[in-house]
C-alpha cells in the first residue's frame, strides 16, 4: 500500500461551548492538518496523488474557510452575536463544538468529495502534543 501525506498549518480561534474549564473561553491555536491518501497502485507518473495538486486543493479550502477564522458551534449564539458586531471578521459555523475531532471529521468529509476512496485519514493537531484523527 502506498500512502501520501501532506501537512498544512493555519491559525484559527474557537471555544468549546458548555465546556467546564479554560477551553470555554475564546482562544486560538496554530493548527496543523495532515491529509493522507492511500492506494495499492500509483499512476503513470508514479504518484498516488500529485502532492502539489493535493496541497493546492485542500490548502485553498482551508485558506478560504478556516485560516484566520473563528470556528463556532452553531448553538453559540452569544459568541456569534459578539463576532457579528465586528466590521472585520471571518466566521465558520460547525454543527457541534469546533473540537479537533469534529474538525478532523469535517475536513475528512470535504476531502472525500475530492478524492473519494483514496482518502485514508485526516489528522488535526491542536498543539504540538495533541491531535485527533478521523479515518475510514
Q: CA–CA distance from 21 to each of 26, 76, 130 (Å)?
A: 11, 16, 17
* Cα 30 from Cα 47, distance rounded (Å): 30
Report angle CA 115, 67, 60 to the nearest 5 degrees: 35
C-beta of residue 86 within 8 angstroms of C-beta of residue 107: no
Give the start-end residues of each E strand in the chain. 2-14, 27-39, 69-73, 91-94, 119-127, 130-135
Give the residue numbers annotated as catalytic, written as ranges: 23, 68, 126
Amino acid at each position: 500500500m502506498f500512502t501520501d501525506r501532506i501537512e498544512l498549518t493555519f491559525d484559527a480561534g474557537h471555544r468549546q461551548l458548555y465546556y467546564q474549564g479554560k477551553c470555554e473561553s475564546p482562544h486560538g491555536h496554530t493548527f496543523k492538518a495532515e491529509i493522507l491518501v492511500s492506494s495499492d497502485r500509483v499512476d503513470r507518473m508514479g504518484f498516488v496523488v500529485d502532492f502539489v495538486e493535493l496541497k493546492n486543493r485542500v490548502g485553498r479550502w482551508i485558506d478560504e474557510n478556516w485560516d484566520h477564522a473563528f470556528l463556532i458551534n452553531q448553538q453559540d449564539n452569544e459568541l456569534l452575536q459578539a463576532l457579528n458586531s465586528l466590521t472585520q471578521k471571518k466566521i465558520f459555523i460547525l454543527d457541534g463544538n469546533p473540537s479537533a475531532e469534529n474538525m478532523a471529521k469535517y475536513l475528512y468529509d470535504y476531502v472525500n468529495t475530492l478524492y473519494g476512496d483514496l482518502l485514508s485519514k485526516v489528522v488535526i493537531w491542536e498543539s504540538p502534543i495533541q491531535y485527533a484523527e478521523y479515518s475510514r
